Structure 1
Amino acid sequence: MPEEKLTIEHLELLYPRFKKMRSPISEYSFSNLYLFRRIHDYKVIHDGDIFIKGVSYDKKNFLMPTEDLRSSDFGKLKKYLARADFLFPVPEEWLSIFNKEEFDVSSMDSESDYMYSTDKISSYRGSKLHKKRNLLKQFLALYKYEACPLTNERLSDARIILDAWQESTRESRDDNDYYACGEALELYEELILCGGIYYAQNQPAGFIIGEELNSETFVIQFAKANIKFKGIYQYMYNTFAKILPAKYKYLNFEQDMGKEALRIAKSSYLPDIMLKKYRVSLRANA
């Protein structure tokens, strides 16, 4: 199968394919693939059909489709799968096409996307989210604040925030998404991203970067803040949810990658949906 390393030039090929899929799964985004291309060693396979070849966090080789597989040629699909450990990420609505005699299906909790109703994040309504409401109230009371669109003129402020965030984390830059986020700022327009930037006491305090996945889902790919401003994350999420167009019913906060700190933080906002992503592999005797 002819393959080549994923580059920015593949945007023209892949961006419209993912949009046509209309999937709420966070991986079905060109910017996601491009920004994490080194971690996953992404390659584009051209063989009549187009697949993305990658390496998972548990060091397995996978193939990622770039179109709905429900109308695929299964003979060709099995040929592709023979050269990888599994297909990924397969949405639940596709599973019925894979018969149990030929395919094994599995999933990992660490790969599931955290999905929240936009209404929930824009209101923090209910007793279980009272801590989020309290932190938001404290932020609003403590600081002079301002919310702005993240535009080219404000990207330098976002880089200041990114560096402040890095200084506060216990991870090295090689073990987190610092470099991917920095590249997202560098290629903000080219990757067709959008977001907001937030100020406290006239200082850059936090920013959000994301994009539309489908007509009702917006994915937050990066949310970085200077935690010296108490309640900054609760303020950012709440404010961003309020200004999103009404058509976006859900915010996708992506997966936790098995990191306990991320699991705790994302679970604390009470996800409405844990969006499973399935691995589909070819049985040895198929």
Structure 2
Amino acid sequence: MYTEQIYKEMGIIEFHPFRIEDKKMIDGFFRIHHYEQIDCTFNTLFIWQKAHDTSWAVQDNILFIRAGHGKDLFFLPPFAKEEEEFKHGLDLIHEELDKLGMPFRLKSASRWVTEQIERLLPGKYDFIEDRDNEEYVYRTADMISLPGKKLRMKKNHLNAFLRQYGGDYTYESITKENMEDAKAGIHEWFERHGDIEEEEEAMKICFDNWDELGVKGAIIRIYGKVEAFTNGDLVNERMAHIIFEKANPNIRGLYQAINRDFLIHEFADTEFVNREEDLGIEGLREAKMGYNPDHLTEKFDVVLKKSSD
């Protein structure tokens, strides 16, 4: 297994860990295009960098994102402003991986990216759909009102919650005054549901850098006890992103309530909301499909055709 030191010695591009002071610069690369994927947001890359061995570099005015290690090392597509810079970015990734003795692989390439690659370098690459990592995008208004037959069951759950707890629950935006209560509530959730170390660590990083990341959050209390937590940010001006959402599963309709109330209070002016991928987990896929997504963010792995040199 390659270590970071070996990468540094053998590679041609100098990579760095994500630091909060890098946010403005890195966001500047993502802002060029209206990306839908959360992979193309500083906040996601920053809070999950330990879990996914993610690092960044800028060379020749191109942003490179590298993740994984050993035989699982891969790059995101290069983030470049001009067409020729994009082609140059692909060349640099080839050189980097060749020097490390690893095959060329990009992940999280959107349909737009694959079309550009095929147009610029026809016949050189294969594009393999990565369904398990495609993100679910919903219309914000639908997630608030839960209209129609397809969302009737979700609406029934919400109505059941409101009938039982309508006068006994409170919604609170997260502030400095209630953040410790939010942390305690989410810690209790993790204790009840087992040790999900990587997720809990990512959430801690999010709390520790709350203001700098510009995230928003909320809790729901029932009889004064924190029973649900959520937070999110913006992928772009049209799309909200739910980062974490946790609720007591024994309280019917609580998930629907925290989702609805959070969008109403914080992101009602967005058109879409990204609720991330299902990772190929059958129950999670069923739950996400049950909310009738508007579309999925298509994602592809990009590899060299076997016949290519």
With normalisation by structure 2, the TM-score equals 0.83
Q: Determine the C-alpha separation between the residues in 2 that align with 1:202 and 1:73.
A: 53
Task: Quote the offset at 1:69 in angstroms.
Answer: 6.6
- Structure 1 residues 186 and 102: alpha-carbon distance in aligned structure 2, compared to 1, 3 A threshold: same
Q: Determine the C-alpha separation between the residues in 1 that align with 2:296 and 2:173.
A: 29
Answer whether contact 2:78 2:89 (CA < 8 A) is retained. no
Query: Is 1:266 the equivalent of 2:288?
Result: yes
Task: Quote the offset at 1:263 in angstroms.
Answer: 1.7
Q: Determine the C-alpha separation between the residues in 2 that align with 1:27 and 1:258.
A: 17
Mean alpha-carbon deviation: is it higher for 230-239 or for 9-18? 9-18
Query: Is 1:15 the equivalent of 2:27?
Result: yes
Aligned to 1:205: 227
The letter for the 1-side match of 2:137 is: M
Answer whether contact 2:66 2:73 (CA < 8 A) is retained. no
Q: State the secondary structure of the residue aligned to 1:153.
A: coil
Q: Determine the C-alpha separation between the residues in 2 that align with 1:71 and 1:218.
A: 32
The letter for the 2-side match of 1:3 is: F
Bigger radius of gyration, 1 or 2? 2
Query: Is 1:154 the equivalent of 2:178?
Result: yes
Q: Determine the C-alpha separation between the residues in 2 that align with 1:212 and 1:152.
A: 21
Aligned to 1:145: 169
Q: State the secondary structure of the residue aligned to 2:159.
A: helix
1:87 alignment partner, one of 98, 101, 106: 106
Mean alpha-carbon deviation: is it higher for 103-112 or for 81-90? 81-90
Answer whether contact 2:141 2:268 (CA < 8 A) is retained. no
Q: State the secondary structure of the residue aligned to 1:115.
A: strand
Answer whether contact 2:80 2:86 (CA < 8 A) is retained. no
Q: State the secondary structure of the residue aligned to 2:66.
A: strand
Q: Determine the C-alpha separation between the residues in 1 that align with 2:88 and 2:23.
A: 28
Task: Quote the offset at 1:112 in angstroms.
Answer: 0.3
Q: Determine the C-alpha separation between the residues in 2 that align with 1:36 and 1:213.
A: 16
| Matched ranges for 1:152-191 at <5 A | 152-169=176-193, 171-174=194-197, 177-191=199-213
Answer whether contact 2:227 2:248 (CA < 8 A) is retained. yes
Aligned to 2:131: 109
Answer whether contact 1:118 1:250 (CA < 8 A) is retained. yes
1:228-247 superposed Cα distances (whole Å, 9 cap, x missing partner): 43211010111222234554
Query: Is 1:227 the equivalent of 2:249?
Result: yes
Q: State the secondary structure of the residue aligned to 2:213.
A: coil
Q: Mark the runs of 5 or more structure 2 residues left unpaired by the alignment.
A: 1-12, 98-102
Task: Quote the offset at 1:181 in angstroms.
Answer: 1.4
Mean alpha-carbon deviation: is it higher for 134-143 or for 275-284? 275-284
Task: Quote the offset at 1:226 in angstroms.
Answer: 2.5
Q: State the secondary structure of the residue aligned to 2:22.
A: helix
- Which structure has greater strand proportion? 1
Task: Quote the offset at 1:152 in angstroms.
Answer: 2.1
Task: Quote the offset at 1:26 in angstroms.
Answer: 1.1
Q: Give the share of equivalent positions with the same residue, in percent.
A: 24
- Structure 1 residues 130 and 60: alpha-carbon distance in aligned structure 2, compared to 1, 3 A threshold: same
Answer whether contact 1:161 1:225 (CA < 8 A) is retained. no
Q: Determine the C-alpha separation between the residues in 1 that align with 2:84 and 2:269.
A: 29
Q: Determine the C-alpha separation between the residues in 1 that align with 2:18 and 2:42.
A: 10
Task: Quote the offset at 1:193 in angstroms.
Answer: 0.9
The letter for the 1-side match of 2:146 is: Y
Mean alpha-carbon deviation: is it higher for 256-265 or for 105-114? 256-265
2:66 alignment partner, one of 46, 49, 53: 53
Q: Mark the runs of 5 or more structure 1 residues left unpaired by the alignment.
A: none
Q: State the secondary structure of the residue aligned to 1:27.
A: helix
Q: State the secondary structure of the residue aligned to 2:178.
A: helix
Q: Determine the C-alpha separation between the residues in 1 that align with 2:80 and 2:171.
A: 37
Q: Determine the C-alpha separation between the residues in 2 that align with 1:68 and 1:205.
A: 45
Q: Determine the C-alpha separation between the residues in 1 that align with 2:290 and 2:81.
A: 33
Q: Determine the C-alpha separation between the residues in 2 that align with 1:9 and 1:74.
A: 29
2:264 alignment partner, one of 242, 267, 270: 242
